[in-house]
Structure 1
Amino acid sequence: MCLRLFSAHNVVFKSLKSHLSQSVHGFSCGGVSFTSVSLKGRSCLTLKDFSPDEIKKVLWVSGDLKHRIKHEKQCLTLLQGKSVAMIFEKRSTRTRMSTETGFALLGGHPCFLTSQDIHLGVNESSTDTARVLSGFCDIVLARVYSHTTLEELEKEASIPIINGLSDLYHPIQILADFLTLQEHYGSLSGLTVSWIGDGNNVLHSFMMCAPKLGVHLKIATPKGYTPDQSVIEEAQRLSTQHGTRLSLTSDPMEAAHNSDVLVTDTWVSMGQEEEKKRRLQDFAGYQITMQTGSVAKPDWTFLHCLPRKKEEVDDQVFYSPRSLVFQEAENRKWTIMGLMVSLLTDYTPHTPMMKF
């Protein structure tokens, strides 16, 4: 594990070092000047709304902040004097900690709000809540049950709204996943990611993002657990537009074949506890094991957004050198920081553009 982590970090360091002679001002990739890409004032409810260049810019900012703060030990107060309202209808470990610690590390003030702390949708409408919070803080991150709640907040707010998770999408998770893969492989374009599990909000976000980064996506879900049809149609359109492959099957081994990355998630999300017994039966045969990986590429890796249960992936895979889950979890912090900085400022990264 240590050798693999050292190797991955060494690849990133060498890549940065080899580009130090280039000026980041006006740095371009494929003819696009990424320093001219601005997201300031935007919301992020779904990566469906973001162009390939905008997603790459967020990942670049995230990697830059990680390098400057973690590795160079710099103190950056990019969000000094700003505050974030963190609305949590659902409990959380990674989303809460990444947002609180990340915003504070950049000099800002995080405010954690549960459904017991505010009147959202109970004694006060989402419309009124959005207008009130717009006068108190600079940005809102909301982890909610219904995606329509986010849409209502975004419609009425005069400040950016970030989707911290909804029943339809989980964009901040996917940003962390792709930063992790970029760090490990050195680039993203041409990778094949295989999703083996439920057709849920995390998968939906993969489908809205992967084609824009040149990533092929293979999906295996049990019958009755396929992704939302409108998301499938949009993903098919994006794959055609960006020249990537998208396939859907109910056979986990078919999806895993010749893949670079195997990914799964919980089979029983919050709010589905009463369905647990039936879901475990329906997902029989979907556990990711070394046998699953035997048909993937020799250097295959594994991702899981956590929390993990053994029926989804066994210990042999989860705690193996192939597993990137804990780097993935840490990158939730750097990517939420990168996203918030991008939505609130015109920050230009100091490190060279990473390879996509």
Structure 2
Amino acid sequence: MTATELRTVLDTAHSMRRGEWRGVKPLAGLSLALVFEKASLRTRTTFDVGMYQLGGHAIALSNTEIGLGTRERVSDVARNLERWVDGVMGRVYLQQTLHELADHAAIPVINGLSDMLHPAQLLADYQTIEQEFGPDLRGRRVVYIGDGNNLANSHIHMGILTGTDVTIVTPVGYEPNAGVLMDAVKAGVQVTLTHDLAAVEGADVLYTDVWISMGQEAEADIRRRAFRGYQVTPAMLETIAPHGIFLHCLPAHYGEETVPGATEHPKSRVFDQAENRLHAQKALLYHLMGEMRARW
């Protein structure tokens, strides 16, 4: 996305959250394939309900049914889906799978999660942040603590687009992707990378994610040892700015990256953030697929 496109999507998402699109069906007659290699609660529910509320239809396809790259080539799956549906959302293990789908399907392909990035989540995150601080986020301190994973990578990209001051606090050896960090350098944007937990102090937004993602279960014990001390607790939330908020994309592994007292803390906006997955993704679907309605 460009910064202008992001602004358009977020403005629409805010409007949808206010109920201004109730009863409007701009995607009537359109269908979205939901392709899942990884399990999902929020991604599946919000894309499915979002299509329904916009007048369209969603069909969920598990990897048992498709077998991306095993039962059938990814390129063949793409060429089939483009003949039947008007868009694809993929929640997959590898970023390359999404590139293959997009390269061979002449319809929009949305990243619902990959090993590299999680941009649909970040749309909801920044909608939530804007609800708290307004649309001009330049200079706001967003501090991400934990694994330098797809969420951390996408936070860096959002910092490039919005002008937020992004800090990644992570143990040695768990830093974000080097190519994503280079994206920030090329854009002339400063990203602070540190192992010092003191960087949390004074944050406008404190964000965390699980230490052990799906597919990393074999590393669980090693990761728990590496991330010891990086847990977001109510005490840590008292060190962020008085107006600061806490976000977590969920699911939470309580006792590891956070505790119930943090997600239920007065500074937590975790469940507003979860609600905004619906509104932000509806806005994305409308802007990606809405113009197709006239051609359908």
| TM-score, structure 2 as length reference | 0.94
Greater displacement, 142-151 / 227-236: 227-236
State the Cα RMSD in Å: 1.5
Partner of 2:112: 164
Distance 2:33 2:130 in 1: 30
Superposed displacement of residue 230, structure 1? 1.0
1:164-212 superposed Cα distances (whole Å, 9 cap, x missing partner): 1000000000000000010122232321100010000011111111221
CA contact (8 A) 2:125 2:273 kept: yes
Secondary structure at the residue paired with 1:194? strand
Q: Deviations over 1:55-105 (max 9, x none)?
A: 111111111222235xxx720111100000000000000000000001011
- Answering whether residue 82 of structure 2 is matched by residue 134 of structure 1, we say yes
Question: Matched residue of 1:68: which SS?
Answer: coil
2:172 is aligned with 1:223: yes
Q: How does 1:274-289 map to 2 (within 5 A)?
A: 274-289=218-233
Structure 1 ranges of 4+ moved more than 3 A: none
Partners of 1:119 and 1:165 lie apart in 2 by 17
User: Where does 1:118-133 land on structure 2 (aligned, <5 Å)?
Assistant: 118-133=66-81
* Corresponding residue for residue 192 of structure 1: 141
**Alignment correspondent of 1:332:** 277
User: Share of identical aligned residues, percent?
Assistant: 39
| Counterpart AA for 1:290 | P
Aligned match for 1:108, one of 52, 56, 72: 56
Tell me the SS of whatever aligns to 1:218: strand
Matches of residues 309-348 of structure 1 in structure 2 within 5 Å?
309-310=253-254, 311-346=256-291
1:216 aligned partner, one-letter code: D
SS of corresponding position for 1:224: coil
Aligned residues of 2:146 and 2:227 also touching (Cα < 8 A):
yes
> Where do residues 20-169 of structure 1 align in structure 2 (5 Å cutoff)?
50-69=1-20, 74-169=22-117
What CA deviation, in whole Å up to 9, does each residue of 1:132-156 have, x standing for no partner?
Answer: 1001000000000011000001001
Residue segments in structure 2 that go unaligned for 5+ positions in a row: none
Task: Tell whether 2:246 aligns with 1:298.
Answer: no
Deviations 1:232-254 (A, max 9, x none): 1112333x2xxx5421101122x
2:237–2:246 Cα contact (<8 Å) kept: no
Does residue 210 of structure 1 match 2:155? no
Instruction: Output the CA distance in 1 between the equivalents of 2:238 and 2:164.
Output: 21
Distance 1:303 1:112 in 2: 28
Match for 1:273 among 198, 217, 234? 217
1:257 Cα offset (Å): 2.3
For residues 13 and 110 of structure 2, what CA distance do their matches in structure 1 show? 16
Q: Secondary structure at the match of 2:80?
A: helix
Counterpart CA distance in 1 for 2:71 and 2:217 is 27
**Which residue number corresponds to residue 195 of structure 2?**
250
Amino acid across the alignment from 2:162: L
SS at match of 1:116: helix
TM-score, normalised on structure 1? 0.79
- The structure with the larger Rg is 1
CA distance in 2, matches of 1:296, 1:68: 32
SS in 1 for 2:156: helix
Deviation at 1:346, TM superposition (A): 4.3
Aligned to 1:235: 184
| SS class of match (1:345) | helix
Give the aligned residue type for 2:279.
W
Paired AA for residue 19 in structure 2: R
> Which amino acid in structure 2 is aligned with residue 191 of structure 1?
R
Letter of the structure 2 residue corresponding to residue 176 of structure 1: A
Measure how far apart 1:119 and its partner are.
Answer: 4.0
For 2:225 and 2:140, the matched residues in 1 are separated by 31
Alpha-carbon contact 2:32-2:87 (below 8 Å) kept: yes
Equivalenced residue count is 290
Residue aligned with 2:64, SS:
coil
User: SS of the counterpart of 1:113?
Assistant: strand
| 2:169–2:194 Cα contact (<8 Å) kept | yes
Look up the equivalent residue of 1:335 and give its one-letter code. A
Q: Which amino acid aligns with 2:196?
A: D
What SS does structure 2 have at the residue aligned with 1:199? coil
Partner in structure 2 of residue 47 of structure 1: none
Q: Matched residues in 2 for 1:123 and 1:293: separation?
A: 47
